[in-house]
Amino acid sequence: MSEVVVVKCGGSTISELTDTFFESIMSLKLAGKQPIIVHGGGPAINEMLTQLKIKTTFVEGLRKTTDAVLETAEMVLCGKMNKQLVRSLQEQGADSIGLSGSDGRLLVVKAIDEEKLGYVGEPVYVNSVLINELLQKSYIPVIAPIGIDDKGQHFNVNADSAAAAIASAMDAEELVFVTDVDGILKDNQLLDVVTSEEIEHYIQDGTIYGGMIPKVKAAIKSLTGPLNAVWIMNGKGSYLSQPNSKQLLYGTKIVKKQTVTNML
């Protein structure tokens, strides 16, 4: 199969992605690559929770998910956000199909800590057969991060973790986190390349904090098999490069330690 590229779009950037971004996804497709999009929807979920007067809190960057929060998150992610991305891709001529991780048991999860986080799950299985069938039919899958456990309970899943799990299961060669920041910053300077070992140090000293923590942890966890690098980039101003290039225009590249050694 052609090279798989998993692109995770942060919820804070979806409404600001321009036609240029979606054209670049279509360019990847025309170049023979297989894009898969995984998306979040945090700001839209927050807005809906506020309208419904449902309280929400975060624990170590993850949203504590009660029954009411889960129902709202599923409505926003699988409805509004998912279909918005599907429409934007179709406007560029890309055949795309929207689904959630609970459809076809695409993303099977287990609870991280039900007492502390409620219905927040971590992926334990990805239905790669289903995804491959969609890719073979020339669809671009657009996946909302709602998972299901072995008892049929739905769970909210951090979109970064979902994207990393899908990238690993699909033997992707590229994983791109499209967010609203340029990458990892230290003393207001962009870090071009960071090793997995350096990530832990930067979490400890506070350089990496908040919502960036689950993002970089997902990146480290995904650095297996053919995937040797994960990019974190700003979707508001920088996009995927030309189809024949594997590089991105701007962002932080997270690599395995031996990758950096080989570059020296």
Binding residues: 41-42, 63, 156
Whose tokens are 């000293």? That residue is 205
CA dihedral 244, 90, 155, 65 (to 10 degrees): 100
By C-alpha distance, which of 188, 149, 264, 174 is closest to 227? 174
| 3-class secondary structure, 162 | helix
By C-alpha distance, which of 51, 47, 52 is closest to 68? 52
| 3-class secondary structure, 84 | helix
Whose tokens are 């400890």? That residue is 204
By C-alpha distance, which of 149, 155, 166 is closest to 218? 166
Ranges assigned E (strand) in 55-192: 58-59, 62-63, 96-100, 107-111, 120-126, 140-144, 146-148, 154-157, 174-179, 185-186, 189-190
Helices and strands counted in the chain (H then E):
11, 16
Q: Residue ranges for the binding site for substrate?
A: 41-42, 63, 156
Bridge partners, residue 126, by sequence: 107
Strand 62-63 to strand 154-157: parallel, antiparallel, or no bridges (unpaired)? Answer: unpaired
In angstroms, the CA 8 to CA 180 distance is: 12
Q: What order of strands is seen across the sheet that includes strand 229-234?
A: 96-100, 140-144, 34-39, 4-9, 174-179, 229-234, 252-255, 193-195
